[in-house]
Each structure stands twice: as C-alpha cells, then as structure tokens.
Structure 1
C-alpha cells in the first residue's frame, strides 16, 4: 500500500516516517508535501491508499484541501492540538492522532485505514428502502410515568436523556428531574426519532438538545458532556463516531 505524508514540520515528518518504516515496512511512502497548494495539485493527478495529514500547514489548514479537490483515500489527521477533533472526523478522516504520535495509536490507525480500503460498496437500493421507511415512521411523542396514584406525562422534547443504572431505566429531563421508567433502553430506542435522540453508549440515549460539549478522548474516542450532567463519563466508541458526527450535523 502507498502512503502520502502532508506535514510541514520536518521533525514530525521524520518521526512519522520512522514509525511507519518500523511497523509497516511493506508500505511505501510515495511523497511528502508541506502545503495546501502542493497537496491539492498532487491529489488532482495522483491517487494513494492512505494519507497522513497535519492540520496546520505552511499556507493554511489542511481542511482547505477537501474544499478544492476530492480526497478518496482514508485520512489520518495528525496535530499537536485537540480542538480540531470534531472538524477532522467531518472530512475523510478515520482517525486523529495527537503529537507526539504514540506508536500503538499509530498502528491502530493504520490498521483501521487498511480495513477501510477493503469495505464493499454500499447497496444503494437498500439505503433507499431504509430512507423511505424512516420517512413514513411515526415516533413516540410522550411518555407516561406512574407517581403513586398519579400518572405524569412527559413529552419527548422534555427528555434530556434516558439512562440505565443498576438494571433500572431513568428518564432525566432538561430541568434535571429524574423518573423511573418501566421500559429498557433497547425497547425504547427504535421508538425515538433518530434526528433527536442518539444511543451514545449501552447505558445512555441522549437528546441532541442535551449535548453541551464534545472533545477528543483516549484511544480515538469522543467524550460527550451532557446537560444535566451524568454521574459517569459518556464516551462514544470509535466505531460510532462517524454516525454520531452525522447526527450532530442533522444529517440522519
């Protein structure tokens, strides 16, 4: 497989090449570029299997490349700053490595990129059927909660998130009120509008309105902070990140 390195800092480029030559000697580094302009020109006339791309280049940020030329190869973003994590995953990036690059994270990223190049094409007819089914489906609008002899109605829009703890399911509202529900997360998930709710983890389904912040976390995961805050960290797995980011953008 062929690798393109887009990096304007010579020490960082040398370190990356050393790691790649050590752990993936069968791969060939076909070129080393240091700017948006040179990268766009090269990609217009050449193809490659994997691209390592620093964010801050000599003439701007690497995200400008995606605006000027179609990038088909899996991209692994490398940078010394973690504030670009979300933006990185919105482009062709399949992983995000902080400098100095950890060799184990590099190995994981390259293996992920290798798998990405082998993925089969999407069945467009299946996608069309799914979209048509989603367009006509009606989702749950309110929930009933038993409080002694009373029944409380909670609109779906009032729910900040559903949380499973110690074999019980709780509804937590935007106001911070917490109620025990008589269903499981697995049972309620298909009844929720996927534009509004997302299964962050096995124990949390969150409303888009409850997402306070998102940041990069260890092992290429994303840490999500909800409002009201949860008792445990919410970590979105690497596998779910592309779908999660599409949800944040309202593309589901």
Structure 2
C-alpha cells in the first residue's frame, strides 16, 4: 500500500538526484606520459653508451639521475594521477587552508617514497633515509636539480631496468651529494662524493660512473660519516 504523500516525496528525491548529476566531474585522469619534462632540463641521465645521440650536448643526464642507455625497453610509469575531483557542492576545496602561512614545504611531496636502510653484509644498520623514487625517464632526468636542499634524513633512489654501467653528472645542482651505485640485490658497487659545482660552473663537467641497477643520492659525505662502503647493502621494500 502506498502512503499518502509518498508519490510527491519520491518525485522530489528523483528531481534532486537528476540535478546532482550536473555537479560531478571527471577524476583520476591518467597521464600516460608520466610527469611533464621541464622545458629547460636542469638534470638527468647521461648516456655513456649512446654517444651518437648525446654528441650535440643533449641535456640528458645528471648526477641527480643519470643513466646509460637502457635497451630493455623500460616504460615510463603510466600511473601518474593528474585528475582532481571537484567539490560537487560547488565549493572550491583548499587543501592548504588549515596550514600555517610559514609552514615549510615538504620535500618531494609528489613522489612515491621508500625507507632505505644501509646495512653491513652481516645485517648491522649503518644509516637510513626516506628516499623519493625516480623510476621513470622524466623523474630520473630531473633528479635533484630542482631541489634547493636535502635534509639529512632524505634522499633520492633512482631505479633502472637492469644492471649496467651508468654515468651521472652534477648539472645545475645547488649542493653536494654522495652518489651510491648498487646492483640488483642492493649490494653497493661504487660510492662517489660529488661536491656542488663551483662559482661560474653548471656541473656539466662533473661526471661520476658506476655499475648498478639502483643509484641512491644522499647528502654530501653522508656515507663517509656513517662508515658506508662498497659491499654494504641497500635494503628497502620492493618497487613495482
């Protein structure tokens, strides 16, 4: 049995539902090209095995993310989520409204991160950092070149598709770093202490080579202060 007035209430609910459809927008649009490459590349990957491609001074390398040509066809990360869902009530959302005006900007807020622990072969921890993951061409090319400074507990972990000889440079870096090469098991193969480019220098001539699948970049002399050396191990959760 239908209650008195139920038809009119149902009709009002139906009309409100129809009206609400106009406030829904697309969310989660997929950017299949990964993060947009900077117009003026500050740092990236040096390709020591493809000199023909880079002979004209290609800005394709950086001590903050340099890679020899990777012929195993690594695809850029296609999971970058660039779409934002708008407020269906018509109110513009402001995620920073409750933050103090002088709040310090977070380091690499848009990056996936991993806790990277450096251990001895016997499993003794020597130090750890929270590392931003650079696992696409664009992210490896950009590296740390747009980072003004790096806290002691932060770093960047470059992920490549295979173990091979790689060359990193210090193009447009604002501070010195340690560059740690490691193989597919995380075993450190090479460590470089790369100082910041000098006055009037852009870091292009500062190149550092090593063999590995992973490259960890931390603050200058970070590894030396913690007694990290070749044969120690980078330990972190798997990166898909």
Alignment TM class, shorter chain as reference: under 0.3
Whichever of the two has the greater Rg, that structure is 2
Q: Whose relative contact order is higher, 1 or 2, with alpha carbons under 8 Å and at least 6 apart?
A: 2
Higher share in strand:
1
Higher share in helix:
1
